[in-house]
Structure 1
């Protein structure tokens, strides 16, 4: 069994990690980091210390009424994407340990399309 990096746990909730294939498990948010444990395979886990978190990116839809997924961008290991039963509760728990300036909204569909058209326009000039 894997040993937790946290000494105090604030929140444990059912979640899904999008790591190639979807992994179902539990998210644990504590005083030292963010952890995801797979329910079926104890060898599949993600542990991210708070010092390693660069950004928390939330995909917000319908003016904040629905958050389908969120991602944690780390300084060395890349970006990990998750979804959970109550994402607002998870993001509020993360906000206790990560500066709110480092918690951002992802780009909407139309913002991505607009950026692509601008990039195409710059290439032609």
Structure 2
């Protein structure tokens, strides 16, 4: 069994991790780390200490009324994408441990198109 990094748990919610295939389990947010544990296979887990988090990127749709998924970009190990039952509550719990400047919105569809066309015109 995997040992948790946290000594105090603030929030536990059901979630999906998008790593290759969709993995279903629970997210635990605590005082030391962001943790994801697979619901059936104890060998499948993700533990991200707070000092390793570079950015938290949220996909925000309909003016903030719907957040389908969010990603945690780490300093060394890449980006991990998650979806959970109550993403607003999860992001608020993360904000306790991560600076607000490191929590950003992802680009929307039209922003990506606009950026692609402006780069083509500059070259």
What's the TM-score bracket when you normalise by the shorter of the two chains? over 0.9
- Residues in 1 aligned to 2:20 and 2:122: alpha-carbon distance in whole angstroms: 33
Segments of 4+ in structure 1 off by > 2 A? none
How many residue pairs match? The answer is 123
CA displacement, residues 86-118 of structure 1 (integer Å, 9 cap, x when unaligned): 000000000000001100000000000001111
Unaligned runs of 5+ in 2: none
**Match of residue 78 from structure 2:** 78
- Report how far residue 122 of structure 1 moved: 1.8
SS at match of 1:114: helix
- Residues in 1 aligned to 2:121 and 2:15: alpha-carbon distance in whole angstroms: 41
Unaligned runs of 5+ in 1: none
- Residues in 2 aligned to 1:29 and 1:21: alpha-carbon distance in whole angstroms: 23
- Residues in 1 aligned to 2:122 and 2:80: alpha-carbon distance in whole angstroms: 31
Indicate whether 1:114 and 2:104 are aligned: no
- Residues in 1 aligned to 2:40 and 2:121: alpha-carbon distance in whole angstroms: 49
**Match of residue 53 from structure 2:** 53
TM-score calculated relative to the size of structure 1? 0.97
- Residues in 1 aligned to 2:63 and 2:99: alpha-carbon distance in whole angstroms: 22
**Match of residue 102 from structure 1:** 102
TM-score calculated relative to the size of structure 2? 0.99
- Residues in 1 aligned to 2:8 and 2:14: alpha-carbon distance in whole angstroms: 18
- Report how far residue 121 of structure 1 moved: 1.2
**Match of residue 65 from structure 1:** 65
- Residues in 2 aligned to 1:111 and 1:71: alpha-carbon distance in whole angstroms: 18
- Residues in 2 aligned to 1:119 and 1:41: alpha-carbon distance in whole angstroms: 45
Q: CA RMSD in A?
A: 0.5
